[in-house]
Amino acid sequence: GSMYGLIAIGYTMVYGIVQLINFAHGEIFMTGAFGAFTVYFYILPDGTAMTVAIPLMLIGGGLVAVLIAVGAERFAYRPLRGAPRLAPLITAI
């Protein structure tokens, strides 16, 4: 339930600031999960204690999600700031 809440707050904040619904929240959230997965299975050595692994997974997942989100904003949304309302909506879908 907390994940649904976080995504709902993200939708609300983006719509309140940019006045555009960004449908990429789920994809960005998913890439963060894959970042955490990659940290756990490919970067950390076998037998790492969970008290060490979980914070590193959170950092890795957050870093991947932030990089993807900043890249999407920089290359997909920023060039369309002054465009008519339909172009950013199509980009968000």
Model-level pTM? 0.75
- Give residue 40's pLDDT: 93
Residues 88 and 92: their CA atoms lie apart, in Å, by: 6
- pLDDT above 90: residue 33: yes
Instruction: Write down the pLDDT at residue 39.
Output: 95
Quick one: average pLDDT of 46-57? 93
Contact criterion met (CB below 8 Å) for 30 and 69: no
d(CA 89, CA 93): 6
Instruction: Give the pLDDT band of residue 26 (cuts 50, 70, 90).
Output: confident
Distance CA 14, CA 34 (A): 23
- Position 37, amino acid: F
Q: Please state, in angstroms and rounded to a whole number, the distance separating the CA atoms of residues 71 and 64.
A: 11
